[in-house]
Amino acid sequence: MNSEVLKGKKILIVEDDMSSRLYLNKILEKTGALLFNANDGREAIEIVSGEPGINVILMDIQLPVMDGYTSAKKIRELGLDIKIIAQTAYSLSGDMENILSSGFDDYILKPIYSGQLIEKLTSFLK
């Protein structure tokens, strides 16, 4: 698995479920990416505002304080060159439309598998 591409890239994980967050960190730690974590949408916005050069955000949709849709829209308004990938358990077409119209670049369905995640991130960041 070629994860060289992810080395040194800044990845923000936005996830309110602690075990899911630990799982994503565990997968991505091996790639040499620099990982940032937020528990909700507001924290995510604080991090992208304060930390220059975040390359990609893995954003959960159902979040406390501010949900993934609203957060993605607000981050888009900041005008940053940043990829935003939704992580969602829903495969309903309405949800997908909502995701793509909220400013996300793509989505990944839960449960998330390590190979699939790394492949997707690599294709966005290479």
Residue 2 lies near Mg ion (rule: CB under 5 A): no
Q: Which is nearer to Mg ion, 16 or 119 (CB)?
A: 16
Class of residue 17 by CB neighbours under 10 A (exposed 0-12, middle 13-18, buried 19+)? middle
3-state secondary structure of 104: coil
Q: Residue of minimal CB distance from Mg ion?
A: 62
**What minimum distance in Å lies between the beta carbon of 87 and Mg ion?**
9
Interacting stretch for Mg ion, rule CB under 5 A, among 1-9, 15-23, 89-97, 106-114?
15-23
Residue 62 lies near Mg ion (rule: CB under 5 A): yes
CA quadruple 73, 55, 122, 14: dihedral, nearest 10: -60
Residue 22 lies near Mg ion (rule: CB under 5 A): no
Rounded to 5 degrees, what angle do the CA atoms 49, 115, 81 make? 25
Rounded to 5 degrees, what angle do the CA atoms 55, 120, 96 make? 95
Longest dimension (CA), the chain: 36
Among positions 100-119, residues that touch Mg ion (CB under 5 A) are none
Question: By CB under 5 A, how many residues form the interface with Mg ion?
Answer: 3
Mark residues 42-61: x for contact with Mg ion by CB under 5 A, - for none. ------------------x-
Chain contacts with Mg ion (rule: CB under 5 A): 16, 60, 62
